[in-house]
Chain A
Amino acid sequence: MSIFVYVEDWNGAYKKSSFEAVSYARIWANSLNTSVTALTSSVVSNPSVLGEYGADQVLTFEIAKTGFGLAQQLQALIQNASGVVISGTNFGKSVAPAFTALSSGALSSNTTSTPITISPLTVKRGAFSSKGIETIELSSEMPIICFVPNSIGVQEFPTACTVTETQAEGNDLLSVEEITIASGKIALPEADVVVSAGRGLKGPEHWGMIEALADVLGAATACSKPVSDIGWRPHNEHVGQTGIQVNPNLYIAIGISGAIQHLAGVSASKTIVVVNTDPEAPFFKAADYGIVGDAFQVVPKLVDTLRAFKADQ
């Protein structure tokens, strides 16, 4: 028996959530006294690195291009599983339910904890856009966990690890025509730090200071819904209940009022900083640190101070 984990790569390179998935699998496997088998693309040049996070064996194969194709491959490769872990990236969220349907498994998506009890298996997951936390029980021979990136954290479990090449059939039901990745940008769901701005910025021409702040912090940029609706920023920066849900270590909200729908998508962030001219802005109630002040004065000062701070580190 083994806990299987699909480890996603981006053009042959791993990201934090890839290692986090292996750590998750290791923690689960330890509680069952079993091994961890990682499944990953043969494009990756250093799959044995997964041993550092707890993989006992790594199977590499030429992965299909779509969620369904990969789900079929996983179904072929996953034998004698005690459970399966998939990170909740955009791609993972297509793979996990398809695999669940094919394997008649039980899936907990949006999972935010490692197993609480093992028999029966229970975990915690976000519900009602972070307004609730559900404890869910999975009763199936094939329990599948799709976890929220950054909710568990990467943990090292140095393990002697073997790498074996294999293959599996997967049928992509649609063809990939084009993939465009914004270069040099940090993807929002994965970011440790998010700098987000709202209508208080008054126009798209003022985002330079937001990007400067994101730059010095190594952060991803985000925005409130109306900002993307008016076209000041692209839709894929819209965070909140009806946009991308984030849970970074640090979320900085500038000129955002903190409407309930905005908070629903960001309140799981570990530390929240709010900058707003209005001391009554609801966001302050959800914040850890607040500054009542004009973004046009506070942000440039913050950028300078952070630059000096980073230079000292």
Chain B
Amino acid sequence: MNTLVCISHVPDTTAKINFTSDGHSLDATGVQFVINPYDEFGLTKALHLKESLGGTITVLNVGGPETEPTLRKALAIGADQAVRIDAIPSDAITVAQNIKNHISANSYDLIICGQESIDYNGQQVPAMIAALLQLPFTNACVGLDLSGSEATTKAEIDGGHATFKATLPMVIGGKKGIVEEKDLRIPNMRGIMSARSKPLKIEMAVEGVAPTKAVSFDKPVVKTAVRMIDPENVEELVRLLHEEAKAI
């Protein structure tokens, strides 16, 4: 069972987000970066599969040298080897193409991505990798069972769930549910020590012309002060929701 887990390097969920004064990009000053939370579920799932089926877990990131601590953390959690494809991940399709190239040059049974990265919220890369490779794909994947090379996946769909069957290799866009929150692994001392000697390989990126470009970033408009309502007077709330907010 050779699994590739794609890891996105993102600002911590508690980070205050600011942009550079020219508005072109994230101001990373003081921002702590972490493994994308969706990818943590995927990495833990890969560890569970390795524990029952054996094999190797490779973690991969498309990014600059600053993402290596995040890959080391994934190694400390239990991945066997890491790959960094050296490129600035500015556009989903160029990221997907680079990951596709890596997959084509290696052999994986399963490619686990997170449903989305919490930085650019694209929810694009996993489906693009699958489409480029013509592999089966389950998005919003909340369950994965393997029986030989047959995979049963469970996905969230609008208003419910769907169950699919596919033959490996396949790609999933995972989230909480493929493993539970309480099962998430965190690095321990031994993991951190051994991660130092695990291989982290740097691969050259194939440069493509990015079809999308961030022109600028703004912060959302802050709300005006909250209007407090007496708990004994919920009629007032209903009136305001109807007349002022026009929400009911």
A→B interface (CB under 8 Å): 10, 66-68, 71, 89-91, 93-94, 96-102, 104-110, 122, 125-140, 173-182, 185-187, 189-190, 193, 217, 229, 235-236, 238, 241-243, 245, 249-250, 260-261, 264, 267-268, 270-274, 284-294, 297-298, 301-302, 305-306, 309
Q: For chain B residues 112-136, which have a beta carbon within 8 Å of chain A?
A: 118-128, 130-132, 134-136
In the complex, chain A residues whose CB is within 8 Å of the CB of B159? 10, 181-182, 185-187
Contact assessment for A173 and B220 in the assembled complex, using a CB-CB cutoff below 8 Å:
no
B189 within 8 A of A: no
Distance, CA A208 to CA B173, complexed state (A): 33
Tell me the minimal C-beta distance from B149 to chain A in angstroms.
Answer: 13
In the complex, chain B residues whose CB is within 8 Å of the CB of A287? 223, 226
The answer, among A130, A238, A260, A297, for a CB contact under 8 Å with B220, is: A130
Known contacts A91-B157, A173-B166; is-contact A261 B14 (Cβ 8 Å): yes
Contact assessment for A134 and B214 in the assembled complex, using a CB-CB cutoff below 8 Å:
yes
In the complex, chain A residues whose CB is within 8 Å of the CB of B19? 132
In the complex, chain A residues whose CB is within 8 Å of the CB of B176? 235, 238, 242-243
Given A90-B158, A261-B13, A290-B228, 13 other A-B residues pairs in contact with their CB atoms under 8 A = A97-B96, A100-B124, A131-B16, A132-B26, A133-B218, A135-B217, A137-B212, A174-B166, A177-B165, A181-B160, A284-B226, A309-B238, A309-B248
Contact assessment for B217 and A98 in the assembled complex, using a CB-CB cutoff below 8 Å:
no
Tell me the minimal C-beta distance from B197 to chain A in angstroms.
Answer: 32
Known contacts A288-B223, A292-B231; is-contact A107 B124 (Cβ 8 Å): yes
B→A interface (CB under 8 Å): 11, 13-14, 16-17, 19, 26, 37-38, 92-93, 96, 118-128, 130-132, 134-140, 142, 152-153, 155-166, 170, 175-177, 180-182, 211-220, 223, 226-231, 234-235, 237-238, 240-242, 245, 247-248
27 contacts between A and B (CB under 8 A): A66-B137, A97-B126, A108-B212, A125-B121, A126-B121, A127-B120, A129-B118, A131-B220, A132-B220, A133-B219, A134-B215, A134-B216, A137-B214, A137-B215, A139-B213, A177-B152, A179-B161, A185-B159, A235-B142, A245-B121, A261-B14, A270-B245, A271-B247, A287-B223, A289-B227, A290-B228, A305-B234
Q: Would you call the interface of chain B mostly helix, strand, loop, or mixed? A: mixed
Chain A-chain B contacts (Cβ-Cβ < 8 Å), number: 269
Contact assessment for A242 and B38 in the assembled complex, using a CB-CB cutoff below 8 Å:
yes
Contact assessment for A90 and B156 in the assembled complex, using a CB-CB cutoff below 8 Å:
yes
In the complex, chain A residues whose CB is within 8 Å of the CB of B13? 129, 241-242, 260-261, 264
Contact assessment for A175 and B226 in the assembled complex, using a CB-CB cutoff below 8 Å:
no
Contact assessment for A267 and B220 in the assembled complex, using a CB-CB cutoff below 8 Å:
yes
Known contacts A284-B226, A289-B237, A290-B229; is-contact A179 B247 (Cβ 8 Å): no
* Smallest Cβ-Cβ distance to A294: which chain B residue: B231
